[in-house]
Structure 1
Amino acid sequence: MKKIKIAIWGINVILLGIVLFLAFGKSNTTEPKYTTYTVKSQSTNYFTGVVQADEKNAVSAEPKSSDEVLASTQVINGQKVMKGQTIFTFYEDMSGEINSVNLEINQINLAIQEVNKNTTKTADDKIELAKDQQNLADAQDKLNKLNKQQNRVVAAPISGTYYKDSEGHSYIYGNPVILGNVNEFSLDKIKIGKNVTVVKNNGKEISGTYSKKDAIPYNNGSVSYYHFQVSTDESLPYGMHVQIKNKSLGYKIPASAVKDEDTVYLLKNNKKHKVILNLTKHGNDYYTKEDIKAGDKLVLF
C-alpha cells in the first residue's frame, strides 16, 4: 500500500513538472505583436447624369407680320446644322418701298454728277456734294434693309441639331454633354480635365472627361448643390441617363506601412511577409491596384 502511495505521489510530481514547463515555456515563446493596418476596398465615387445639350437656342418659323409669309423651310427634324446655315426664308412684298428708294438714289446720283461737272468747286459746292454723298449712303443703307426685310433669312445661331417639338417650337441643340449635379461635400471629387468612366444605360463603359463645373451653387439651402459637365468622344443620344465613375487610385496604403518607397510587409498567421508593390504616392498616402486585396493586414512601423 505504501508503495502505491509513493508511486501516485511520484506521478503527481511528474505531471506538475510538465504543467509548469508548458506554462513557463509558452510564456517564454510568445510571438511578437504587431500594429497593423487593414486594407480597405478601393474607393470609387459614383455620380449620376443625363445627356443634354450644352447650348439650346430657339429659332422661329413664324412670320413677323401679317404681310410676311414663310417662303421655305430648309431643314428637317433631327438634322445637323452649322452655325450660319439658312434654316427658314420669309417673303414680304416691299416692291413699293424699294422702288421709291431706288428713285431717290437715282436723283441723288444725278445731283452729284451735276456738282462734279464743275472742275473748280466753290465752298458751297463742296458742302452740297458732302450732303449728297451722305444722303446717298443713307438711301443705300435703307435699300439694303428693305431688301433684307423682303427676303428675310433665319440662320442657325450655333452648330448643332435642329428639333421641332410637339407644340411646334423649333430649337437648335448644341453638342450633347452629360450634365450632373453634386453637393458641396463631394465638389472636390469633380476636377476639370480628370478622366472618368461613363456607364451607359445598357451597361457599356466609355471614357469621358470632366469639362465644366459651377463656381456658384444653383441651390444653396441647408446643403449647396453644383452642376457639372462630362464630355465624351462618343456622341450619346439626348435624354440618356448614365453613371459617372471616377477612376480609383487603387488600394490606399498609409506611409507608415511602406518601407523604401515600394515595400510592405503582409501579416499572415502573425508572420511578416515582404511584398514589393507598384506604388503611386498621392498626398500623404500610397496607392496600388495590384498584388494586394481588401482585408489584407499590413505591418505599421
Structure 2
Amino acid sequence: MKKIKIVIWGINVVLVAIVIFLALGKGNGTEPKYTTYTVKSQSTNYFTGVVQADEKNTVSAEPKSTDEVLASTQVTNGQRVIKGQTIFTFYENMSGEINSVNLEIRQINLSIQEVNKNTTKSADDQIELAKDQQGLADAQDKLNKLNKQQNRVVTAPISGTYYKDSEGNSYIYGNPVILGNVNEFSLDKVKVGKDVTVVKNNGKEIAGTYSQKDAIPYNKAAVSYYHFQVSTEETLPYGMHVQIKNKSLGYKIPASAVKDEDTVYLLKNNKKHKVILNLTKHGNDYYTKEDIKAGDKLVLF
C-alpha cells in the first residue's frame, strides 16, 4: 500500500513538472502583440479645368446708322491688342451740321469781340458777355461731338486677343487662365495662393497657382459648386483641357505612431525597427514623402 502511494505521488510530481515545462516553453515562444497603423497611399486631389479668357468683351464692326459706313478694320483675327488700341473706324458725313456749328461759333466770337471793345463794361455788357461765353462753350462741345460722330473710332476695351467668329461677331479675349469648378465637399482643397501642378493634354506638367475662388456657389443637382481659376507662367492656348493636381503632403502618419517628433517604429516579421523620418506636421497628423511606402505597418503607442 505504501509502495502504491509512493508511485502515485511520483506520477503527480512528473505531471506537474510536465505542465510547468510546457507552460514555460509556451511562454518563451509567445510573440508580443502590437497595435499598428498601415500606411496608405499618398492622397492627391485632382480637378479638371479648361483654358479660357479671364475677360471677354464684344467689339462691334456694325455701323450705328444707315448713314454710317465702316471705314477701316485695323486688326486681324488672332492679333494681340492693348487697351485703347484702335480696332475699327467709321465715317458718317456730318459736313452740313459741322458747317452750321462753325458758323455759329464765328458769330459768337464776333459778338464777344464787339463787347470787349468797350474798356468799361456796363452790367448789361457783362451779362451779354457771360451769355456769349457760355454759348461758345456749348457750340464747341457740340462741334466736338459732331466730329467724333463723323469719324467714330472703336478701341479695345481691354488688353487681349482679337477674334472674329464664323458668324461675324468680334470679341477681345483677355488673359488665358484655367477655369475649373469644385463641389462643396472639396472646397477646402482649393486655396487661393496655393501652388498646384497642371498636367497639359500632352501629359507635360507645369507649375500653377490657385488665383481666384468664387465666394458664391451655383447649384447643380442639389450640390453647390464653386468656380475657381488657376494661373500659370506658361501661356496656354484657349480651349486646352488640363488636370489640376494639388501637391501631396506625403504619407500620412498619426501622431500616436511618432516618438520624439521624428521617430517611428516599422514592424517587420513582428519585430520593431526604428526609423527616423523627415516629418512635417499638419493639424494633428504628420506627413513624410520619404523612407516609407504604402502598406508599411507602424507601431502605435
TM normalised by structure 1 equals 0.92
What displacement does 1:79 show?
Answer: 0.2
What displacement does 1:116 show?
Answer: 1.0
Superposed counterparts of 1:1-301, under 5 Å: 21=21, 24-219=24-219, 221-301=221-301
CA distance in 1 between counterparts of 2:18 and 2:68 reads: 115
What displacement does 1:21 show?
Answer: 3.8
What displacement does 1:24 show?
Answer: 3.6
Q: Deviations over 1:85-118 (max 9, x none)?
A: 0000000011111111011011111111111111
**Corresponding letter in the other structure for 1:89:** T
Q: The residue matched to 2:119 in structure 1 has which SS? A: coil
Q: The residue matched to 1:40 in structure 2 has which SS? A: coil
Q: The residue matched to 1:161 in structure 2 has which SS? A: strand
Q: Deviations over 1:159-203 (max 9, x none)?
A: 000000000000000000111111100011000000000000100
What displacement does 1:29 show?
Answer: 3.6
In terms of mean alpha carbon deviation, does 21-30 or 190-199 score higher?
Answer: 21-30
In terms of mean alpha carbon deviation, does 221-230 or 284-293 score higher?
Answer: 221-230
Structure 1 residues 220 and 123: alpha-carbon distance in aligned structure 2, compared to 1, 3 A threshold: farther
CA distance in 1 between counterparts of 2:256 and 2:27 reads: 30
Q: Deviations over 1:193-252 (max 9, x none)?
A: 000000001000001111111111122551111111111111111111110000000001
CA distance in 2 between counterparts of 1:259 and 1:140 reads: 85
CA distance in 2 between counterparts of 1:103 and 1:210 reads: 61
**Corresponding letter in the other structure for 1:197:** T
Q: Deviations over 1:29-51 (max 9, x none)?
A: 41211111111100000000111
CA distance in 2 between counterparts of 1:163 and 1:19 reads: 94
Matched positions, count: 289
What displacement does 1:23 show?
Answer: 5.5
Q: The residue matched to 2:66 in structure 1 has which SS? A: coil
What displacement does 1:125 show?
Answer: 1.0
CA distance in 2 between counterparts of 1:99 and 1:218 reads: 57
CA distance in 1 between counterparts of 2:123 and 2:188 reads: 74
**Any gaps of 5 or more consecutive residues in structure 1?**
1-13
Which residue of the partner structure matches residue 10 of structure 2?
none
CA distance in 2 between counterparts of 1:280 and 1:112 reads: 83
Q: CA RMSD in A?
A: 1.8
Q: The residue matched to 1:105 in structure 2 has which SS? A: helix
What displacement does 1:27 show?
Answer: 2.4
CA distance in 2 between counterparts of 1:248 and 1:48 reads: 17
**Corresponding letter in the other structure for 1:140:** Q
In terms of mean alpha carbon deviation, does 218-227 or 59-68 score higher?
Answer: 218-227
TM normalised by structure 2 equals 0.92
**Any gaps of 5 or more consecutive residues in structure 2?**
1-13
In terms of mean alpha carbon deviation, does 21-30 or 177-186 score higher?
Answer: 21-30
What displacement does 1:119 show?
Answer: 1.2
